[in-house]
Structures are given as C-alpha cells and as structure tokens.
C-alpha cells in the first residue's frame, strides 16, 4: 500500500469510527461517591438501619424490626465501589401464623457492591448476597428447613433523601435478581446512606 492509499484508508477508517460513535449514543460513566459535592478520597463507613425491610420467598414474607447494615465505600478509577461487611437481623417475623423465624443471618460476608447508572438514575448493586433463614412451626411447610436467598440486588439512590431503595422496580432497572427455593425472591427496603467515620454529617451523593 503506497502513501496515497494509506492516507485514503486512514481517512476512511476515522470517518467510520466517527459514524459508529454517533450511532452508538452517549456512554455514561459509572457514578462515584461524593461528600458535599466532592469525590470521596480514601474510604468511608456507612452504618444504618432500614426504615422498613422485608424478604419474600414463594408464599412467605419475612420482616425484621432491626434490619441493620455496615457498608464500606470508596472510589476506584472514578467509579463508586463498596463492600457490605455486616448485616445483623433481629426481631424477625413472618406474615403466616404457622411459621416463625427460628434463625436468620447474612452469610459469606463481605458482599461486593458497586454504583451503576441506568438513565436517568443512579443505583447501587449488591453482589453475591446470601441470607439463610430457618423457619419453625408444626404446621409450617418449611419447618426446620434452611432456606437460602441468594443473588444480586439493585437499589435506587436518592441523593436528596440520602437513601437507597430496593424494590421490584429497582431490581428490574438493574437487571438484578434474588432466588430462593429455585424461585424468584424479593427484597424490599429503604436504607439511609449516612457516613459514620470521616464524613459524619456531610451530604453523601452518587453522581
């Protein structure tokens, strides 16, 4: 290929790449954690309790009065990351008079997490989630059985309220899913996103 042919080839390649970029549409970068509008440097710990939270497996919903969590967050290459390191659950009951909660707990912690954008909103995605529940009751069909809820969970970030909300809509938007007993499970809850280490009382946002 001579110099003239190379020049024509390169101009054509650049034109093709430009056209491809136009048709590909805008690419949104992953959101980052920010405090008072400034990108988080280093790490921070978020602690809190859900305003309301429930885990639903086929035919049974379990609610916990104390659905606590501890999340360590950081930014890597400009993208928000994190690890859910603690999630104690207390005072849990079911919506069935036949079934009581004998034991419940998060397993195989920490669970990795990351921020993602699904236009126009930002979400947090919890990966490798695993919660084990043992139910009891003579008339409970799950009596003595260890039921494990596993999968990924996507929650909508509300920067104004400083919360992350998990519900069917947030799972659908992030294409995440939990399963139990070989069927789809659901997790609903609204979690505050408040720092309890270096950035106490500072507004936390994802953007």
For the stretch 140-155, pLDDT in tens is 999 999 999 999 999 9
Q: Work out the mean pLDDT of the chain and round it to a whole number.
A: 88
pTM of the complete model: 0.84
- How many CB atoms lie under 10 A from the CB of residue 138? 6
pLDDT band at 2 (very low <50, low <70, confident <90, very high): low
Give the sign of the dihedral formed by CA 122, CA 158, CA 77, CA 48. negative
- Between CA 19 and CA 14 the distance in angstroms is 9
Is the Cβ–Cβ distance between 130 and 107 less than 8 Å?
A: yes
The enclosing H or E element of 6 equals helix 3-24
Evaluate if residue 18 carries a pLDDT over 60.
Answer: no
Kindly list the domain boundaries of the chain, sorted by start residue: 33-206
Evaluate if residue 29 carries a pLDDT over 80.
Answer: no
Annotate 30-50 with b (16+ C-beta within 10 A) or e (fewer): bbbbbbeeeebeeebebebeb
Q: Is the peptide bond before 181 cis (omega within 30 degrees of 0)?
A: no
Evaluate if residue 124 carries a pLDDT over 70.
Answer: yes
pLDDT per residue as tens digits for the range 78-117: 999 999 999 999 999 999 999 999 999 999 999 999 999 9
CA dihedral 119, 49, 161, 130 (to 10 degrees): 0
Is the Cβ–Cβ distance between 91 and 103 less than 8 Å?
A: no
The enclosing H or E element of 66 equals strand 60-76
Give the bridge partners for 44, in sequence order.
73
Cα separations (Å) of 143 from 45, 61, 62, 82, 195? Answer: 37, 15, 14, 36, 39
Is the Cβ–Cβ distance between 171 and 137 less than 8 Å?
A: no
SS3 content of the chain, % helix, strand, coil (to 5): 15, 55, 30
């Amino acid at each position: 290929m001579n110099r003239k042919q190379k020049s024509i080839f390169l101009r054509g390649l650049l034109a093709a790449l430009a056209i491809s970029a136009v048709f590909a549409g805008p690419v949104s970068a992953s959101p980052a954690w920010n405090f008072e509008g400034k990108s988080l440097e280093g790490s921070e710990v978020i602690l809190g309790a859900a305003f309301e939270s429930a885990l639903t497996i086929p035919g049974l919903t379990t609610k916990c009065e104390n659905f606590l969590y501890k999340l360590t967050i950081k930014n890597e290459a400009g993208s928000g990351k994190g690890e859910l390191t603690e999630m104690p659950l207390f005072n849990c009951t079911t919506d069935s008079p036949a079934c009581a909660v004998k034991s419940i707990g998060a397993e195989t912690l920490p669970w990795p997490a990351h921020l993602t954008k699904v236009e126009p909103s930002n979400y947090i995605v919890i990966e490798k989630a695993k919660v084990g529940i043992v139910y009891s009751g003579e008339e409970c069909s799950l009596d003595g059985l260890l039921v494990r809820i596993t999968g990924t969970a996507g929650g909508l970030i509300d920067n104004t309220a400083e919360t992350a909300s998990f519900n069917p809509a947030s799972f659908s938007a992030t294409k995440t899913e939990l399963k139990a007993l070989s069927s789809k499970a659901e997790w609903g809850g609204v979690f505050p996103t408040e720092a309890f280490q270096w950035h106490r009382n500072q507004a936390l946002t994802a953007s």
